[in-house]
Copies of this chain bind each other. A is one copy, B any other.
């Protein structure tokens, strides 16, 4: 049954205060309340309301427009706010189990307030705390209540100064030896052999006190090792429940995906915030008009619509995708927790890894570019700090970098697809994946024979048309990338060099096109379900078509070039490198 607005209490959907947006709101072809209910669901809407209502009346969360916070004061406030979030205890363990999506909802609500707060809370609970829970054993359980009361506050040491993407080459080593931790729990001074420091001001997220730690011959008790995935016996022998290293690596891919899927949600949240500001501004800001006496809202200009509305459509499509991939990841995690060691479980891990590895780049770049467009679309007003677009840009920016540089990460996805094609070519294996994102590739020779046949612009307003074009494009790019890679190898390049030389014009667009297709496929299906309220079908269909055509348009040159090659099958296009 479709959810309906009728019968909900008015507190869930308070009326907007009257103001200059009334005219546009009155012209809407749909009920925003119905759309919110369809997009979020009542349970999540109520949960958001609980969080926002608490923060709204708590003086610790009051904003002081114009007040200038020093770095130290900002960090102190952020720490106190984080502690307060624990006191509010918005989510019980039971809630998390029943409705895991609320975890990301909570992170996003905190991020809508301030990403430094969301990050501090997230790193302490979901990275530090939950790792102690999930990777530790009985001997670590004593720490857990102290962690969730913030008596113990965790830090998360990830990389080295000279290492980022190449985690395998990290030079910190741990040797087994008898027992001795980083700071003294009483004085908070660092323990001997440990040097800690602050990395200094960042472009954004400055409420988060990122630092560095140097360990020089530091002894850590054997008992401190989080030992579920691997342990050291008192005799110094390494033991692991996994039979082989490859399987252990596969299991850890799931953990890597958590970060990336969470970042997708963060990026989408930023895009939503920026768009709310810019679209509302555009509806009220008037400049020029058909006559000297009459000025019209800038939202009426084709240029302003072209600048902003595709990002609005992208926000809906990416929002749905990031939530649905989160749900898939929960399934993966539950399988792991239940000890599922099946081939399907391993394949699910790999598929989610491929989707998260391109999903994070797509979402974070779309948000970064969208925020910049919103900033410019608001003119000088967008340049005022109080209007928040600068903070959004600064706070979203690292989403393009952490948990894997976007350009580097895309290789994970193109390699996944190329690997599947190699299996098909060598062993005749089918393209099949648990979430079915690659299943269409099984008929790739047939798809490549299809032609784009539409007779009018109106036909293109169904996202099914763009979906078909995307499938063709991904098949084409996959075949081209495979051929280019083989050609590089035949010319004497080793695997490392061959892959590097195929990335810019082959692997990269392949990964991005596949990702856009997957996001679009899920959104298209979502908005064409029978349970979509009839009054929302038109607007959701338009959002799906707009996202589809706008994204596909970036590949227009490739589509034309491919068609040209087909019409001249004898030779290769001259412009190819």
Contacts and interface: CB of A to CB of B under 8 A. Distances in A.
Nearest to A387: B203
Interface stretch (A248-256, A260-268, A352-360, A497-505): A497-505
A383 B407 contact: no
Contacts of A376: 400-401, 405-407
A66 interface: yes
Interface in A209-250: none
A134 interface: no
A516 interface: no
Nearest to A70: B68
A200 B287 contact: no
Interface string A479-523: 000000000000000101100110110001000000000000000
A200 B380 CA distance: 12
A292 B167 CA distance: 12
A100 interface: no
A529 interface: no
A277 B307 CA distance: 31
Given A390-B394, A401-B380, A557-B556, A200 B303 contact: no
A340 to B, nearest CB: 33
Which bracket fits the contact residues of A?
35 or more
Contact of A383 (B384, B401, B508, B560): B401
A165 interface: yes
A201 interface: yes
A81 to B, nearest CB: 21
A295 B199 CA distance: 25
Contact of A405 (B169, B201, B379): B379
A167 to B, nearest CB: 10
A164 interface: yes
Contact of A368 (B159, B372, B380): B372
A547 to B, nearest CB: 17
B166 A385 contact: no
B368 A457 contact: no
A535 to B, nearest CB: 28
A160 to B, nearest CB: 11
Interface string A70-100: 1100000000000000000000000000000
A233 to B, nearest CB: 28
A306 B504 contact: yes
A555 to B, nearest CB: 9
A286 interface: yes
Given A397-B375, A564-B560, A577-B457, A165 B288 contact: yes
B290 A497 contact: yes
A289 interface: yes
A204 to B, nearest CB: 8
A32 interface: no
Nearest to A378: B401
Contacts of A202: 383-385
A560 B574 CA distance: 12
20 contacts: A68-B201, A70-B70, A159-B380, A169-B292, A202-B383, A202-B384, A203-B384, A203-B385, A203-B390, A289-B496, A290-B496, A303-B508, A376-B400, A376-B406, A556-B557, A556-B560, A556-B561, A557-B557, A560-B561, A564-B564
Interface of A: 65-66, 68, 70-71, 159, 162-166, 168-169, 199-204, 285-290, 292, 295, 301-303, 306-307, 368, 372, 375-376, 379-380, 382-386, 389-390, 393-394, 397-398, 400-402, 405-407, 454-457, 494, 496-497, 500-501, 503-504, 508, 553, 556-557, 560-561, 563-564, 574-575, 577
